[in-house]
Amino acid sequence: MTAIPGYTYDEMLAPSPVSIEDLELLKASLLWTDDDNAALLKAGQVLEDQIEDILDVWYGYVGANAHLVKSFSGADGNPSGEYLAAVRLRFGQWIRDTCTRDFDEEWLAYQNEVAHRHLTKLAKTDGIETTETHIPLRYLISFIFPITATMRPFLAAKGASESEVDAMHAAWFKAVTLTVSLWSQPYNTGAW
């Protein structure tokens, strides 16, 4: 359990419409191996005390792009500091979870919840009034690159060898791609 507001991983959530069998097929499509599980666990250790620095980089990137930061608008259409700060805590926890959680039914259920937080439940978890309706799927997909590319220096910062960094980076790339693939599931409504 964590005390992060709105983080409901350990609560009873609606089950994901994606089955474990579908998840396994997605992992196979990503050439997932047991080595990726081990590399992600190692990445979790390497990243733990760098999470705030990573979030600074990602928030800097979002903040520098008006069309992205617009998604964190409050009722007046301007970025809401309260909203950005609330989501930041859960974003940090997501880094930990992605590296350390088992990809099981509980994990799938939380992926479904977060998908809906980008689509049908935007700003609801934090009780924010927003002018926005949803995060466009095309931006979720595009975001895979910055979230992956910017991670490498952090993975390399604790003395791992070049090949260990490569393995952690590839596993992270696969995990983020897997996540966004799952989050695309409820977008079959045409909300591109």
Long-range contacts of 68-71 (CB under 8 A, 24+ apart): 68/139, 70/132, 71/122, 71/132, 71/135, 71/139
Establish if 137 lies at the interface with ligand HEM (CB under 6 A). no
Establish if 125 lies at the interface with ligand HEM (CB under 6 A). yes
Identified binder of ligand HEM from the candidate list 43, 140, 151, 182, rule CB under 6 A: 140
How deeply is 119 buried, as exposed, middle or buried, from its count of CB atoms within 10 A (0-12, 13-18, 19+)?
Answer: buried
Identified binder of ligand HEM from the candidate list 26, 157, 176, 191, rule CB under 6 A: 176
Alpha helices, H only, 19-104: 20-29, 34-47, 51-63, 66-69, 81-100
Q: Residue 16 and residue 25: Cα distance in Å, rounded?
A: 15
Q: Which is nearer to ligand HEM, 41 or 68 (CB)?
A: 68
Q: Which residue is nearest to ligand HEM (CB)?
A: 94
Chain positions 69 to 108 lying near ligand HEM, rule: CB under 6 A, are 71-72, 87, 90-91, 94
Q: Which is nearer to ligand HEM, 42 or 90 (CB)?
A: 90
Q: Residue 167 and residue 153: Cα distance in Å, rounded?
A: 13
Q: Which residues bind ligand HEM (CB under 6 A)?
A: 6-7, 68, 71-72, 87, 90-91, 94, 114, 117-118, 122-123, 125-126, 135, 139-140, 143-144, 147, 176, 179-180
